[in-house]
Chains A and B, each alone.
Chain A
Amino acid sequence: MKGLAPITAAVAALAAVPLVVQSNTALNFLVMTLLIALAGQGWNVLGGYGGQYSFGHAAFFGTGVYVTAILQVHYGVNAWFSFAAGIAGGAAVGALIGALTFRVGLRGSYFALVTLAFAEVLRIIASVAPITGAGVGILIKLDLRVAAFQFQSRAVFYWIILALVSISLLIAQAIERSRFGAWLIAVRENEDAAKALGVNVGRVKLGAMIVSAAITAAAGCFYAQYFLFVDSGIAYGTRTSIEALLTPIIGGVGTVFGPLLGALAVNALSEGAKLVAGDAPGLSLIVYGCVLVLVIAFAPRGLIGLVEMARLRVARSTTREAAHG
């Protein structure tokens, strides 16, 4: 199929990394990068293509985390099945929030606010409910078997998260080229005009919300399997919501590769900040906040926008030279 080349090339290059790099620290860095790229791609589907800025994507991430952990620990369900159930659970929460909010036509500030509130409600519930381990959290038992979705080697985890990211890239590209995507972008550009042209706005937004929630929930499921420990602050905390929106905005909002690029930039920056100023509480989030403001100020279309602009400038100067020479 035409247009698959960039995705194939990027994924193939990334897949080869563990063959060259053996360092656990480096692999861990890449796993975390891909993890937030995945969460960010979820946000990008709804926020980037649909223009619905959610400030509470932790609601979906955390649901993925908890469903995966709770099914295994409390009900003895197989890890792979729990993983799938976690994605479904996140999608269900997305469908519920979407159905409630889009039905009454909440958008803009209101939508941001209501998603934030839902994530907070879930966090408060998870921090007191017995089934989520309340303040203590849940520990998934160490069980290094493929059937338990646990692996001795980081490289395997890396390839799994890479596979999930590749699927999310394909989903983003499929959305970009589908009629559904055209509707979604129409809603982003002008909701009232889209409605007037016969786009079922509520349904399109709801569909995007469900896909978006499922992708971000998958990141949560992976988190639970990778770290084998979850608590309410990790699962439903604001940090996840911020990272999920930061990655596509830095990389290029409403683009296929934006979240991946953004995740690389965000993680590299926060590691850099740690090197410079030591690992102090709050430091990486200060960097995130500053970067968010700076990107909106100077590169509203993200890194991808900057690259395109540079390419255009080069092309223009070469044509000018050709004309004069």
Chain B
Amino acid sequence: MFSLVILITAVLNGLLTGAVYALVALGLTLIYGVLHIINFAHGALLSAALFAAFFAFKLLGLDPYLAALLLAPAFFVLGYALQRLVIGPVSHGNDRNMLLVTLGLSVVIENFLLYAFRADTRTIDVPYAFQTIDLGFTFLPIPRLIGFVVVFAVALALWVFMRFTDVGKAIRAVAKEKLGAQLVGIDVAHVYAMTFGLGTACVAIAACLLIPTFYVNPTVGEAFVLIAFTIVVLGGMGSVPGALIGGLLIGVVESLSGLFFGESLGQLGIFLIFIAVLLVKPTGLFGAKA
């Protein structure tokens, strides 16, 4: 009975962590689904968002959950501008160039953070960081429970947005058939930038959910984004439900492999899953075609 409780606790914790992974992956898969490129700057943007949330708390005393209301629109604008003013014009419509530009941006952002804030790891102290909820047989940390709920609220909002608004419909149209969308008068550059903005806003919200119980340093995003890559590949590139389910799945896998094999191998396990999925079924669980 004792071991079963530990097992269930590990699975529940994995689901809570996985939800935040899923939100990072959601941004990535959204961008891939429409622009058909992997945004290699995603991790660096996550680091930047974590720093933003950190300083919002330290300098302005802004609670991370409130900061999300500010940072999400701010990062939406940042993402929009990056795509509209940098990635789009610079890459001359060539996919290989687009990849390189996002890689270049990630190098610049990450090293700018390193240059400005050094490699120190920082944390914030919020009163509720260690508060838990008693389930009778185990305790769950409240901040991560909040994170779980928010992620699903964001996913639902995103679904409604994509389903029922004109912009959402335009985004889906461009994802399906770029040329056709262009012919009926959709501004593809605008849609690309909107999508990039939405993906970046997801990252900002994820950062705000993470910061109460996590830490920030210039390279922290890199670890996350490799997990996010795995989730996106596992769930199928461009698939939103795939990102959510993949995220939860990876969270549980990481938690369980940490339980059985120790902390350091948990990451390695994720990479091995990643490579295995790419090699065996690169379309993932929910992807249409490579």
Binding site for B on A (CB under 8 A): 51, 53, 55, 100-101, 103-106, 108-110, 112-114, 117-118, 120-121, 124-125, 128, 242, 245, 249, 280-283, 285-286, 288-290, 292-293, 296-297, 300
Q: Are B233 and A113 in contact (CB under 8 A)?
A: yes
Q: Are A297 and B115 in contact (CB under 8 A)?
A: no
- Chain B: interface secondary structure? helix
B108's partner among A103, A120, A290 (CB-CB below 8 A) is A290
State A249–B104 Cα separation when bound (angstroms): 12
From A117, A124, A242, A281, name the one whose CB has the most chain B CB atoms within 10 angstroms. Answer: A117
Which residues of chain A are near B110, meaning CB under 8 Å?
282, 285
Q: Are A286 and B112 in contact (CB under 8 A)?
A: yes
State A229–B6 Cα separation when bound (angstroms): 44
Which residues of chain A are near B271, meaning CB under 8 Å?
117, 120-121, 124
A242's partner among B36, B107, B115 (CB-CB below 8 A) is B107
Given A101-B279, A109-B99, A288-B107, 11 more pairs with CB closer than 8 A: A55-B103, A108-B95, A108-B99, A109-B36, A112-B38, A112-B99, A117-B278, A124-B271, A245-B100, A282-B112, A296-B100
State A275–B233 Cα separation when bound (angstroms): 43
Given A296-B90, A297-B89, verify A104-B108 contact (CB < 8 Å). Answer: no
Which residues of chain A are near B107, meaning CB under 8 Å?
242, 285-286, 288-289, 292
How far does the Cβ of A236 sit from chain B's closest Cβ, in whole Å?
13
Scan residues 89-113 of chain B and give those whose CB is less than 8 A from a CB of chain A: 89-92, 94-97, 99-101, 103-108, 110-113
Whether, in the assembled complex, B37 has its beta carbon less than 8 Å from a beta carbon of chain A, the answer is yes
A-B contact pairs, 6 of them (CB 8 A): A120-B271, A121-B272, A282-B113, A283-B111, A292-B100, A293-B90
Q: For chain B, which range describes its interface: under 10, 10 to 19, 20 to 34, or 35 or more residues?
A: 35 or more
How far does the Cβ of B187 sit from chain A's closest Cβ, in whole Å?
22
Question: Which 3 pairs across A and B sit closest by C-beta, in order of nearness?
Answer: A289-B107, A282-B114, A289-B108
Which residues of chain B are near A125, meaning CB under 8 Å?
268
Given A53-B100, A104-B282, A296-B104, verify A110-B111 contact (CB < 8 Å). Answer: no
Given A110-B290, A117-B271, A282-B218, verify A292-B103 contact (CB < 8 Å). Answer: yes
How far does the Cβ of A115 sit from chain B's closest Cβ, in whole Å?
11
Whether, in the assembled complex, B57 has its beta carbon less than 8 Å from a beta carbon of chain A, the answer is no
Given A53-B96, A104-B282, verify A293-B108 contact (CB < 8 Å). Answer: yes
Whether, in the assembled complex, B118 has its beta carbon less than 8 Å from a beta carbon of chain A, the answer is yes
Which residues of chain B are near A292, meaning CB under 8 Å?
100-101, 103-104, 107
Q: Are A286 and B108 in contact (CB under 8 A)?
A: yes
Residue of B nearest to A241 (CB): B103
Q: Are A281 and B118 in contact (CB under 8 A)?
A: yes
Whether, in the assembled complex, B65 has its beta carbon less than 8 Å from a beta carbon of chain A, the answer is no
How far does the Cβ of A211 sit from chain B's closest Cβ, in whole Å?
20
Whether, in the assembled complex, B264 has its beta carbon less than 8 Å from a beta carbon of chain A, the answer is yes
Q: Are B101 and A296 in contact (CB under 8 A)?
A: yes
Given A121-B268, A288-B107, A289-B104, verify A113-B90 contact (CB < 8 Å). Answer: no
